[in-house]
Structure 1
Amino acid sequence: MNRVQVQTEDFDLSAEVARLRAGDARVGGVVTFVGTVRDMNDGSAVSSMELEHYPGMTEQSIERIVEQAMQRWPLYNARVIHRVGPLQPLDQIVLVAVSAAHRGEAFAACEFIIDYLKTEAPFWKKEQTPSGARWVDARVTDETALRKWAAR
Protein backbone atom coordinates (compact mmCIF):
# COMPACT_ATOMS: atom_id res chain seq x y z
CA MET A 1 0.00 0.00 0.00
CA ASN A 2 1.34 3.42 -0.93
CA ARG A 3 1.34 5.73 2.05
CA VAL A 4 0.69 8.79 -0.13
CA GLN A 5 -1.67 9.20 -3.05
CA VAL A 6 -2.71 12.31 -4.99
CA GLN A 7 -5.74 11.69 -7.19
CA THR A 8 -8.82 13.19 -8.80
CA GLU A 9 -11.10 10.33 -7.69
CA ASP A 10 -12.99 10.29 -4.42
CA PHE A 11 -11.99 7.83 -1.69
CA ASP A 12 -13.91 5.43 0.54
CA LEU A 13 -13.10 6.09 4.20
CA SER A 14 -14.14 2.61 5.38
CA ALA A 15 -12.07 0.86 2.73
CA GLU A 16 -9.03 3.01 3.50
CA VAL A 17 -9.25 2.34 7.25
CA ALA A 18 -9.60 -1.40 6.60
CA ARG A 19 -6.54 -1.27 4.31
CA LEU A 20 -4.59 0.68 6.94
CA ARG A 21 -5.36 -1.90 9.66
CA ALA A 22 -4.99 -4.92 7.33
CA GLY A 23 -5.33 -7.48 10.12
CA ASP A 24 -2.56 -5.93 12.25
CA ALA A 25 -3.44 -7.11 15.78
CA ARG A 26 -0.92 -4.67 17.31
CA VAL A 27 -3.15 -1.72 16.39
CA GLY A 28 -4.95 -0.25 19.39
CA GLY A 29 -6.03 2.97 17.72
CA VAL A 30 -6.77 4.36 14.29
CA VAL A 31 -7.30 8.10 13.94
CA THR A 32 -8.59 9.69 10.75
CA PHE A 33 -9.15 13.20 9.53
CA VAL A 34 -11.26 13.91 6.46
CA GLY A 35 -11.26 17.45 5.07
CA THR A 36 -14.20 18.53 2.94
CA VAL A 37 -15.10 21.47 0.69
CA ARG A 38 -17.13 24.14 2.50
CA ASP A 39 -19.67 26.36 0.80
CA MET A 40 -18.28 29.46 2.58
CA ASN A 41 -14.76 30.81 3.07
CA ASP A 42 -13.62 34.17 4.41
CA GLY A 43 -17.19 35.48 4.34
CA SER A 44 -17.89 34.59 0.71
CA ALA A 45 -20.01 31.84 -0.78
CA VAL A 46 -17.95 29.21 -2.57
CA SER A 47 -19.64 27.44 -5.48
CA SER A 48 -16.63 25.28 -6.37
CA MET A 49 -12.89 25.07 -5.97
CA GLU A 50 -10.01 23.65 -7.94
CA LEU A 51 -6.85 22.22 -6.46
CA GLU A 52 -3.68 22.18 -8.53
CA HIS A 53 -0.38 20.51 -7.71
CA TYR A 54 3.03 19.73 -9.11
CA PRO A 55 2.99 15.98 -9.88
CA GLY A 56 5.89 14.09 -8.36
CA MET A 57 7.02 16.97 -6.17
CA THR A 58 3.73 16.97 -4.24
CA GLU A 59 3.86 13.27 -3.45
CA GLN A 60 7.49 13.53 -2.32
CA SER A 61 6.67 16.48 -0.10
CA ILE A 62 3.78 14.63 1.56
CA GLU A 63 5.90 11.48 1.94
CA ARG A 64 8.51 13.53 3.85
CA ILE A 65 5.78 14.82 6.18
CA VAL A 66 4.52 11.27 6.80
CA GLU A 67 8.08 10.06 7.39
CA GLN A 68 8.60 12.79 10.00
CA ALA A 69 5.46 11.62 11.81
CA MET A 70 6.62 7.98 11.60
CA GLN A 71 9.94 8.96 13.19
CA ARG A 72 8.37 11.16 15.85
CA TRP A 73 5.70 8.70 17.10
CA PRO A 74 5.61 4.89 17.27
CA LEU A 75 3.12 4.46 14.42
CA TYR A 76 2.37 1.22 12.65
CA ASN A 77 1.07 2.76 9.48
CA ALA A 78 -0.06 6.01 7.90
CA ARG A 79 -2.03 6.95 4.82
CA VAL A 80 -2.63 10.29 3.09
CA ILE A 81 -4.93 10.73 0.12
CA HIS A 82 -5.25 14.22 -1.32
CA ARG A 83 -7.58 15.04 -4.16
CA VAL A 84 -6.87 17.52 -6.94
CA GLY A 85 -8.93 18.96 -9.76
CA PRO A 86 -12.40 20.49 -9.62
CA LEU A 87 -14.35 19.94 -6.38
CA GLN A 88 -17.78 20.98 -5.12
CA PRO A 89 -19.04 21.82 -1.63
CA LEU A 90 -19.41 18.62 0.45
CA ASP A 91 -16.76 16.77 -1.61
CA GLN A 92 -13.98 15.08 0.32
CA ILE A 93 -10.58 16.72 -0.24
CA VAL A 94 -8.11 14.94 2.00
CA LEU A 95 -7.76 11.87 4.18
CA VAL A 96 -5.11 11.49 6.85
CA ALA A 97 -5.19 8.17 8.69
CA VAL A 98 -2.71 6.71 11.15
CA SER A 99 -2.53 3.55 13.24
CA ALA A 100 -0.64 3.03 16.48
CA ALA A 101 -0.76 0.95 19.64
CA HIS A 102 -2.31 3.82 21.59
CA ARG A 103 -4.69 6.67 20.81
CA GLY A 104 -2.43 9.47 22.07
CA GLU A 105 0.26 8.80 19.49
CA ALA A 106 -2.33 8.32 16.76
CA PHE A 107 -4.14 11.60 17.52
CA ALA A 108 -0.90 13.58 17.73
CA ALA A 109 0.52 12.14 14.51
CA CYS A 110 -2.71 12.71 12.59
CA GLU A 111 -2.85 16.34 13.72
CA PHE A 112 0.84 16.84 12.91
CA ILE A 113 0.40 15.49 9.38
CA ILE A 114 -2.64 17.64 8.56
CA ASP A 115 -1.02 20.75 10.05
CA TYR A 116 2.03 20.26 7.83
CA LEU A 117 -0.10 19.41 4.79
CA LYS A 118 -2.02 22.69 5.13
CA THR A 119 1.17 24.77 5.06
CA GLU A 120 4.00 22.77 3.49
CA ALA A 121 2.54 20.61 0.71
CA PRO A 122 2.66 22.25 -2.75
CA PHE A 123 -1.03 22.67 -3.55
CA TRP A 124 -2.70 25.73 -5.04
CA LYS A 125 -6.38 26.32 -4.33
CA LYS A 126 -8.67 28.50 -6.45
CA GLU A 127 -12.23 29.17 -5.29
CA GLN A 128 -15.18 30.31 -7.38
CA THR A 129 -17.17 33.00 -5.54
CA PRO A 130 -19.94 35.45 -6.54
CA SER A 131 -17.14 38.02 -7.09
CA GLY A 132 -15.23 35.67 -9.40
CA ALA A 133 -12.28 33.32 -9.01
CA ARG A 134 -9.69 33.85 -6.27
CA TRP A 135 -6.54 32.06 -5.18
CA VAL A 136 -6.48 31.08 -1.50
CA ASP A 137 -3.41 31.59 0.70
CA ALA A 138 -2.54 29.64 3.83
CA ARG A 139 -4.34 30.97 6.90
CA VAL A 140 -2.58 32.57 9.85
CA THR A 141 -4.20 29.89 12.02
CA ASP A 142 -2.54 27.19 9.88
CA GLU A 143 0.86 28.82 10.44
CA THR A 144 0.18 29.05 14.18
CA ALA A 145 -0.77 25.37 14.28
CA LEU A 146 2.49 24.50 12.56
CA ARG A 147 4.62 26.45 15.04
CA LYS A 148 3.35 24.45 17.98
CA TRP A 149 5.10 21.34 16.58
CA ALA A 150 8.46 23.10 16.47
CA ALA A 151 8.10 23.91 20.17
CA ARG A 152 7.62 20.25 21.10
Structure 2
Amino acid sequence: MLKRLNHVAIVVPNLDQAVSLYQNVLGAHVSAPQDLPEHGVTVVFIDLPGSKVELVAPLGDASPVATFLARNPQGGMHHLCYEVGDLIDTRDRLLAQGLRVLGDGQPSIGAHGRPVLFLHPKDCAGTLIELEEVRAKPVTLGDLPGSA
Protein backbone atom coordinates (compact mmCIF):
# COMPACT_ATOMS: atom_id res chain seq x y z
CA MET A 1 0.00 0.00 0.00
CA LEU A 2 2.65 2.58 1.03
CA LYS A 3 5.23 3.35 -1.62
CA ARG A 4 7.83 5.73 -0.24
CA LEU A 5 8.22 8.56 2.21
CA ASN A 6 7.45 11.71 0.25
CA HIS A 7 8.26 14.25 2.95
CA VAL A 8 8.51 15.07 6.62
CA ALA A 9 6.61 18.25 7.53
CA ILE A 10 7.94 20.62 10.17
CA VAL A 11 5.84 23.51 11.45
CA VAL A 12 7.96 26.61 11.97
CA PRO A 13 7.12 29.85 13.79
CA ASN A 14 9.14 31.96 11.33
CA LEU A 15 9.41 30.71 7.76
CA ASP A 16 12.10 33.22 6.72
CA GLN A 17 14.39 32.15 9.59
CA ALA A 18 13.82 28.45 8.84
CA VAL A 19 14.54 28.97 5.13
CA SER A 20 17.72 30.85 6.00
CA LEU A 21 18.85 28.00 8.27
CA TYR A 22 18.32 25.32 5.63
CA GLN A 23 19.59 27.39 2.70
CA ASN A 24 22.44 29.45 4.12
CA VAL A 25 23.67 27.34 7.04
CA LEU A 26 22.88 23.77 5.94
CA GLY A 27 23.38 24.41 2.21
CA ALA A 28 20.12 22.85 1.05
CA HIS A 29 18.09 23.74 -2.02
CA VAL A 30 14.84 25.36 -0.85
CA SER A 31 11.84 25.96 -3.10
CA ALA A 32 10.01 29.27 -3.35
CA PRO A 33 7.25 29.77 -0.76
CA GLN A 34 3.83 28.53 -1.81
CA ASP A 35 0.65 29.84 -0.18
CA LEU A 36 -2.05 27.19 0.20
CA PRO A 37 -5.09 29.19 1.38
CA GLU A 38 -7.35 26.12 1.25
CA HIS A 39 -5.08 24.51 3.86
CA GLY A 40 -4.29 27.73 5.77
CA VAL A 41 -0.53 27.39 5.36
CA THR A 42 2.52 28.63 3.49
CA VAL A 43 5.03 25.91 2.61
CA VAL A 44 8.50 25.50 1.16
CA PHE A 45 10.19 22.24 0.25
CA ILE A 46 13.78 21.26 0.88
CA ASP A 47 14.92 18.81 -1.78
CA LEU A 48 16.86 15.81 -0.54
CA PRO A 49 17.89 12.65 -2.38
CA GLY A 50 14.77 10.47 -2.48
CA SER A 51 12.64 12.67 -0.22
CA LYS A 52 11.85 16.19 0.96
CA VAL A 53 11.37 18.20 4.12
CA GLU A 54 8.36 20.52 4.09
CA LEU A 55 8.55 23.66 6.20
CA VAL A 56 5.03 24.77 7.13
CA ALA A 57 3.99 28.17 8.49
CA PRO A 58 0.52 29.47 9.33
CA LEU A 59 -1.23 31.55 6.69
CA GLY A 60 -3.45 33.77 8.83
CA ASP A 61 -4.77 33.46 12.37
CA ALA A 62 -7.31 30.74 11.48
CA SER A 63 -4.59 28.38 10.24
CA PRO A 64 -4.83 24.82 11.61
CA VAL A 65 -1.10 24.94 12.39
CA ALA A 66 -1.57 28.04 14.56
CA THR A 67 -2.93 25.76 17.30
CA PHE A 68 0.10 23.48 16.82
CA LEU A 69 2.38 26.49 17.35
CA ALA A 70 0.38 27.59 20.39
CA ARG A 71 1.21 24.20 21.96
CA ASN A 72 4.73 24.08 20.50
CA PRO A 73 6.03 27.68 20.19
CA GLN A 74 9.40 26.58 18.79
CA GLY A 75 7.66 24.47 16.10
CA GLY A 76 8.35 20.82 15.45
CA MET A 77 7.53 17.77 13.40
CA HIS A 78 3.92 17.91 12.22
CA HIS A 79 3.33 14.94 9.91
CA LEU A 80 4.79 12.26 7.68
CA CYS A 81 3.64 12.04 4.07
CA TYR A 82 3.64 8.68 2.31
CA GLU A 83 2.95 8.05 -1.34
CA VAL A 84 0.23 5.61 -2.38
CA GLY A 85 -0.89 4.42 -5.81
CA ASP A 86 -4.67 4.66 -5.48
CA LEU A 87 -5.80 7.06 -2.77
CA ILE A 88 -9.48 6.10 -2.78
CA ASP A 89 -8.72 2.37 -2.62
CA THR A 90 -6.19 2.99 0.17
CA ARG A 91 -8.70 5.14 2.06
CA ASP A 92 -11.43 2.52 1.78
CA ARG A 93 -9.09 -0.27 2.95
CA LEU A 94 -7.93 1.78 5.94
CA LEU A 95 -11.49 2.79 6.90
CA ALA A 96 -12.49 -0.89 6.78
CA GLN A 97 -9.70 -1.55 9.28
CA GLY A 98 -11.00 1.12 11.64
CA LEU A 99 -8.66 4.01 10.89
CA ARG A 100 -10.13 7.51 10.76
CA VAL A 101 -9.65 9.97 7.92
CA LEU A 102 -9.65 13.61 8.96
CA GLY A 103 -12.07 16.12 7.48
CA ASP A 104 -14.94 14.90 5.33
CA GLY A 105 -13.00 11.85 4.12
CA GLN A 106 -12.69 13.20 0.61
CA PRO A 107 -9.31 14.03 -0.98
CA SER A 108 -8.14 17.59 -1.37
CA ILE A 109 -5.31 18.83 -3.55
CA GLY A 110 -2.01 19.11 -1.69
CA ALA A 111 1.07 21.25 -2.23
CA HIS A 112 2.33 19.02 -5.07
CA GLY A 113 -0.94 19.36 -6.99
CA ARG A 114 -1.92 15.78 -6.15
CA PRO A 115 -4.83 14.36 -4.14
CA VAL A 116 -4.12 13.94 -0.41
CA LEU A 117 -5.84 12.69 2.76
CA PHE A 118 -4.80 12.83 6.40
CA LEU A 119 -5.16 9.98 8.91
CA HIS A 120 -5.94 10.63 12.58
CA PRO A 121 -2.78 10.53 14.70
CA LYS A 122 -4.54 8.54 17.46
CA ASP A 123 -4.90 5.69 14.94
CA CYS A 124 -1.29 5.94 13.69
CA ALA A 125 0.99 5.56 16.71
CA GLY A 126 0.58 9.22 17.64
CA THR A 127 1.68 10.57 14.27
CA LEU A 128 -0.38 12.57 11.79
CA ILE A 129 -0.09 10.76 8.44
CA GLU A 130 -0.66 12.35 5.05
CA LEU A 131 -1.28 10.04 2.10
CA GLU A 132 -0.48 11.47 -1.33
CA GLU A 133 -1.59 9.77 -4.52
CA VAL A 134 1.24 9.32 -7.00
CA ARG A 135 0.41 7.70 -10.32
CA ALA A 136 2.17 7.57 -13.65
CA LYS A 137 -0.58 9.79 -15.11
CA PRO A 138 -1.49 12.97 -13.20
CA VAL A 139 -4.94 12.80 -11.62
CA THR A 140 -7.34 15.60 -10.69
CA LEU A 141 -10.04 15.42 -8.06
CA GLY A 142 -12.70 15.01 -10.79
CA ASP A 143 -10.96 11.83 -11.95
CA LEU A 144 -11.36 10.12 -8.56
CA PRO A 145 -14.37 7.90 -7.96
CA GLY A 146 -16.57 9.07 -5.12
CA SER A 147 -15.25 12.63 -5.17
CA ALA A 148 -17.47 15.62 -5.73
TM-score between the two structures when normalised by the length of structure 1 = 0.27
Greater relative CO (CA pairs within 8 A, separation 6+): 1
TM-score between the two structures when normalised by the length of structure 2 = 0.28
Structure with greater helix share of residues: 1
